C-alpha cells in the first residue's frame, strides 16, 4: 500500500453555505463527508487543514433579512451561528470557519480583484439580462426554461445596470489546456465531461459587479459597485490561508496548502468551481486548485432537497433518533460520493440502522467483548502459535480490507469503503459462529482454540474500530473503550497487534435496535423545515372531494420525447371526448413506441400546465416506488376511452 508520506499537507473545503436559511441534511451531508475525509487523512498522518463556513453577501441574504424584519448583519450573525452549531452537533473537526463578512475576507477578495484588474481582465460595461437570485447566477436568455432558471426553476429577474466584466472568454483555451493537463481535476469523470463540453461551446465575459444593492464587498476604487457574490465567495478558500493579510507567515501557508486543495461541492455549483474559479485564479497569477469533487443531490419526494422547495429534512431530527454516527453512517453508505443522486427517506435510514449498525456491527461488538469477559476474565489472551485455514482466511481478509478501505478513501469511494468494512464485519460474525466458543469453553482440551478465537475476534474488532473511525468517530471511541485500546493511526494498521493482557472495559450496547415503525418515526422527524410546519388537521377527504377528480380511461395515439428533457414524454391521447396532449414524466421508464396503443388512466379535468414549453392537458397515472421508476396504472384494454374510473 502506498500511503502519502506523514506530514504531507492536505487541504479540504466544503462550499461556504448561504445564510438565507438554516442548515438541513443537504448541507450536513457535504460537511460530514469532508469531515470523514479530513479524519482519514489525519489518521494517515497528513497535515490537514479543513475549512468550512458561510457565504453571507448577496441579494438573497439581504432579502431574507428584510423578510425576517431584521438588520442584515444581525440576521447574518444568527444564521451563521446555526451553521457553526451544525459543526458542533455533527462532530465536525474543521480547523477554521470562515464568514465572508469578516474583515480578513474583504481584504483577501479586494486583493484578488486588484490582481485580476491589474492584469487587464476586468473592464466596465453595461449588463442587461436575466438573473436568478436563488442561485446567484446570470442566466442567458437561451437557457431559460419557460422563462425560469434552468438550475432551480425559480423566477428570474431582469437586470439592467452598469457592471464590471471579467474577461472569461479569454480563458476558454487556457481552461481547456488546463483540463487536458489535469485529467483528474474534476471527479467523477462524467461530471468533468459536462464541464468540458460547456467550455468547448464557448464562453462569454462574466458580469462581476452589481450596483442595485449594497450587501457585498465594494469594488476597489469604485464603491458604488459591490462584487458579484461568486467572485467574493470563491475567494474564501484563499482567505483562510491568509491571502491579503500582509502577514509573512500566510505566504508560507499558501505555499504549503495551495494548490493542493480538494473542493468538495454539490453538483449544482460545479460550473462556478471548475470554470470561474480557475479562470479568476489564472488571471490573478495563482495556480488553480488540484481537484473538485462534485457529489449528487439528496432527493426527497423525487426532487432536490432544498429550502426553496420546502422539502428539507432537519439533521437534528435524525440525530435525535439515530445519533450522530447513525446519520453519518447512513448518508455516507447510502449515497456514493462520486455517483448519482440518492433518496433520503425514513424507511431507508431505519432499515440501514437496524441491519448494518444494530445487527451486524452491534452484534460483533457485544459478542466479542462479552466472550472475552466470560471466557477470559475480561483480559485479551495470548495469541496461540497455531492457526488453521479459517484463521488464515480471516487474517488475509483483514489485510485486504485495510488496504481496500485506505485506497477507497483516497479515491473518495467512501460508500464502497464502508461496504468492504461490512463484509469484514460479517465474516468475523460468521467466524465466531463457526468456532462456537460457547462449546469450546466446555472442553478443557480446546482452550488454545478458544483463546485463538477470542484473540482474533478482538483483534478484528480493533481493526474495524479503526476503519470506521472517520465516518463514526463516536462509535469507534466507544468500541475502543470496551476493548480497552486507544486510537490507532491508519499508517501502520495491520492484523495481529492487539496487545495480549489488555483489560477490557465494560460492554454496553453500541447501537440498540430501533423498534419503531416508519409511521412512528415519521411523527418524530418532521420531514420538512420547522419554519413551515404542516397543519395537523384530519387530512382525509370526503367522497365529494374525491369525485371532483375526473379519472378516465384513455388510449395513447402518439408518443414522442420532449426535446432537452430526460424525464418527459409528450403523448397524444384519445379521451373518448377529445384528442389532447399530455406531458408525462415517464421517459426514464418507457420508450415512446412502447406506449402507442396502450390503455391508460388519466386525470381529465386538470388545469393545463406548461412543462418544458409544451402544454399538458391532464395527467397520466403511474405508481412510483421510492427511488424506482414509474409504472403506468393499467386497466383492462377492453375498456373504451372515456370510461370513468372511480
Q: Which residues bind ligand MSP (CB under 6 A)?
A: 15-18, 26-27, 29-30, 55, 233-234, 236, 265-266, 268-269, 297-298, 304-306
Computed on alpha carbons and rounded to an integer, the radius of gyration of the chain in Å comes to: 29
Q: Are strands 261-266 and 291-295 parallel, antiparallel or unpaired?
A: parallel
d(CA 366, CA 42): 28
Q: Which helix (H) or strand (E) holds 112?
A: helix 103-118
Grid cell locating 254: 499558501
d(CA 493, CA 508): 26
Please enumerate in sequence order all residues whose Cβ is within 8 A of that of 643, keeping only pairs 6 or more positions apart, or say none: 552, 553, 576, 635
Which CB atom, from 95 or from 126, has the smaller least distance to ligand MSP?
95
> How far lies 379's CA from each of 115, 372, 402, 422, 433, in Å?
64, 7, 25, 26, 21
- Tell me how far, at minimum, the Cβ of 134 lies from ligand MSP, in Å: 9
Residue 567 DSSP label:
S
Which CB atom, from 12 or from 43, has the smaller least distance to ligand MSP?
12
Grid cell locating 193: 465531461
- Tell me how far, at minimum, the Cβ of 401 lies from ligand MSP, in Å: 28
Which CB atom, from 53 or from 452, has the smaller least distance to ligand MSP?
53
Which CB atom, from 304 or from 328, has the smaller least distance to ligand MSP?
304
**DSSP string computed for 371-440:** HHHHHHTTBPPPPPS---HHHHHHHHHHHHHHHHHHHHHHTT-HHHHHHHHHHHHHHHHHHHHHH-HHHH
Q: Which of 532, 423, 502 is nearest to 467 (CA)?
A: 423
- Tell me how far, at minimum, the Cβ of 451 lies from ligand MSP, in Å: 48
Which CB atom, from 413 or from 459, has the smaller least distance to ligand MSP?
413
- Tell me how far, at minimum, the Cβ of 317 lies from ligand MSP, in Å: 16
Name the one residue in this structure whose C-alpha cell is 404542516.
534
- Tell me how far, at minimum, the Cβ of 258 lies from ligand MSP, in Å: 15
- Tell me how far, at minimum, the Cβ of 139 lies from ligand MSP, in Å: 16
Measured from the Cβ of residue 482, the count of other Cβ atoms closer than 10 Å reads 23
d(CA 313, CA 346): 10
Residue nearest to ligand MSP as judged by C-beta position: 26
Q: Which of 229, 267, 265 is nearest to 151 (CA)?
A: 267
Which CB atom, from 342 or from 461, has the smaller least distance to ligand MSP?
342
Which CB atom, from 264 or from 504, has the smaller least distance to ligand MSP?
264
- Tell me how far, at minimum, the Cβ of 568 lies from ligand MSP, in Å: 22
Which CB atom, from 439 or from 530, has the smaller least distance to ligand MSP?
530
Which CB atom, from 137 or from 586, has the smaller least distance to ligand MSP?
137
- Tell me how far, at minimum, the Cβ of 179 lies from ligand MSP, in Å: 20
**DSSP string computed for 319-348:** HHHHHHHHHHHHHHHHS-TTS--EE--HHH
- Tell me how far, at minimum, the Cβ of 299 lies from ligand MSP, in Å: 7
Which CB atom, from 335 or from 553, has the smaller least distance to ligand MSP?
335
Which CB atom, from 317 or from 451, has the smaller least distance to ligand MSP?
317
- Tell me how far, at minimum, the Cβ of 275 lies from ligand MSP, in Å: 13
- Tell me how far, at minimum, the Cβ of 17 lies from ligand MSP, in Å: 4
Which CB atom, from 76 or from 233, has the smaller least distance to ligand MSP?
233
> How far lies 103's CA from each of 19, 95, 127, 210, 255, in Å?
18, 19, 29, 20, 22
Residues 544 and 325 sit within 8 Å (Cβ to Cβ): no
d(CA 197, CA 179): 11
Burial call 18-29: b when 16+ CB within 10 Å, e when fewer: bbbbbbbbbbbb
Name the one residue in this structure whose C-alpha cell is 473503550.
481
Q: Which phi and psi (to 5°) does residue 321 adopt?
A: -90, -45
- Tell me how far, at minimum, the Cβ of 73 lies from ligand MSP, in Å: 18
Which CB atom, from 55 or from 360, has the smaller least distance to ligand MSP?
55
Q: Which of 479, 485, 489, 487 is nearest to 499 (CA)?
A: 485
- Tell me how far, at minimum, the Cβ of 30 lies from ligand MSP, in Å: 3
Amino acid at each position: 500500500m502506498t500511503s502519502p508520506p506523514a506530514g504531507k499537507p492536505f487541504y479540504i473545503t466544503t462550499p461556504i453555505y448561504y445564510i438565507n436559511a438554516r442548515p438541513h441534511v443537504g448541507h450536513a451531508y457535504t460537511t460530514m463527508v469532508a469531515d470523514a475525509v479530513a479524519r482519514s487523512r489525519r489518521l494517515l498522518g497528513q497535515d490537514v487543514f479543513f475549512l468550512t463556513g458561510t457565504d453571507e453577501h448577496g441579494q438573497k441574504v439581504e432579502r431574507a433579512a428584510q423578510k425576517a424584519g431584521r438588520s442584515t448583519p444581525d440576521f447574518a450573525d444568527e444564521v451563521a451561528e446555526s451553521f457553526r452549531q451544525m459543526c458542533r452537533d455533527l462532530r465536525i473537526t474543521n480547523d477554521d470557519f470562515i464568514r465572508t463578512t469578516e474583515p480578513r475576507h474583504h481584504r483577501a477578495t479586494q486583493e484578488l480583484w486588484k490582481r485580476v484588474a491589474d492584469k487587464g481582465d476586468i473592464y466596465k460595461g453595461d449588463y442587461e439580462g436575466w438573473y436568478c437570485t436563488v442561485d446567484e447566477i446570470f442566466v442567458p436568455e437561451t437557457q431559460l426554461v419557460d422563462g425560469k432558471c434552468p438550475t432551480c426553476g425559480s423566477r428570474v429577474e431582469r437586470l439592467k445596470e452598469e457592471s464590471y466584466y471579467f474577461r472569461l472568454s479569454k480563458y476558454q483555451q487556457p481552461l481547456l489546456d488546463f483540463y487536458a493537463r489535469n485529467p483528474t481535476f474534476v471527479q467523477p469523470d462524467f461530471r468533468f465531461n459536462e464541464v468540458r463540453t460547456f467550455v468547448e461551446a464557448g464562453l462569454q465575459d462574466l458580469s462581476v459587479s452589481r450596483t442595485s444593492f449594497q450587501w457585498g464587498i465594494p469594488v476597489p476604487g469604485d464603491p458604488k459597485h459591490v462584487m458579484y457574490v461568486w467572485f467574493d465567495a470563491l475567494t474564501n478558500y484563499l482567505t483562510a490561508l491568509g491571502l491579503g493579510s500582509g502577514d509573512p507567515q500566510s505566504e508560507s501557508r499558501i505555499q504549503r496548502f495551495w494548490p493542493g486543495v480538494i473542493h468538495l461541492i454539490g453538483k449544482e455549483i460545479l460550473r462556478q468551481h471548475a470554470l470561474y474559479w480557475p479562470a479568476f485564479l489564472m488571471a490573478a497569477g495563482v495556480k488553480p486548485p488540484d481537484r473538485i469533487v462534485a457529489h449528487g443531490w439528496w432527493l426527497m419526494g423525487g426532487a432536490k432537497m432544498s429550502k426553496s422547495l420546502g422539502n428539507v429534512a432537519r439533521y437534528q431530527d435524525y440525530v435525535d433518533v439515530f445519533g450522530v454516527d447513525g446519520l453519518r453512517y447512513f448518508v455516507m453508505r447510502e449515497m456514493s460520493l462520486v455517483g448519482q443522486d440518492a433518496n433520503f427517506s425514513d424507511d431507508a435510514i431505519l432499515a440501514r440502522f437496524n441491519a448494518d449498525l444494530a445487527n451486524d456491527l452491534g452484534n460483533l461488538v457485544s459478542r466479542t467483548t462479552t466472550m472475552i469477559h466470560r471466557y477470559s476474565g475480561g483480559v485479551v489472551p495470548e495469541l496461540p502459535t497455531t492457526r488453521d485455514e479459517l484463521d488464515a482466511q480471516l487474517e488475509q481478509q483483514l489485510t485486504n480490507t485495510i488496504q481496500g478501505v485506505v485506497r477507497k478513501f483516497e479515491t473518495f469511494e467512501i460508500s464502497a469503503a464502508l461496504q468492504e468494512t461490512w463484509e469484514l464485519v460479517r465474516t468475523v460474525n460468521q467466524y465466531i459462529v463457526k468456532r462456537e466458543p460457547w462449546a469450546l469453553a466446555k472442553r478443557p482440551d480446546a482452550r488454545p482454540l478458544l483463546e485463538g478465537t477470542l484473540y482474533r475476534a478482538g483483534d478484528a474488532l480493533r481493526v474495524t474500530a479503526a476503519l470506521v473511525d472517520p465516518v463514526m468517530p463516536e462509535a469507534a471511541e466507544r468500541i475502543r473503550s470496551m476493548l480497552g485500546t486507544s486510537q490507532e493511526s491508519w499508517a501502520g494498521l495491520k492484523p495481529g497487534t492487539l496487545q495480549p493482557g489488555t483489560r477490557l472495559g465494560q460492554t454496553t450496547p453500541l447501537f440498540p435496535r430501533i423498534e419503531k415503525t416508519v409511521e412512528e418515526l415519521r411523527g418524530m422527524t418532521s420531514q420538512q423545515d420547522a419554519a413551515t410546519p404542516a397543519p395537523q388537521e384530519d387530512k382525509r377527504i370526503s367522497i365529494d372531494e374525491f369525485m371532483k377528480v375526473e379519472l378516465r380511461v384513455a388510449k395513447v395515439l402518439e408518443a414522442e420525447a420532449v426535446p432537452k428533457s430526460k424525464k418527459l414524454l409528450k403523448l397524444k391521447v384519445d379521451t373518448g371526448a377529445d384528442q389532447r396532449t399530455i406531458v408525462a414524466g415517464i421517459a426514464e421508464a418507457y420508450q415512446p413506441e412502447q406506449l402507442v396503443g396502450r390503455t391508460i388512466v388519466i386525470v381529465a379535468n386538470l388545469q393545463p400546465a406548461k412543462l418544458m414549453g409544451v402544454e399538458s392537458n391532464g395527467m397520466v397515472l403511474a405508481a412510483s416506488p421510492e427511488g424506482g421508476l414509474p409504472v403506468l396504472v393499467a386497466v383492462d384494454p377492453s375498456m373504451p376511452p372515456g370510461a370513468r374510473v372511480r
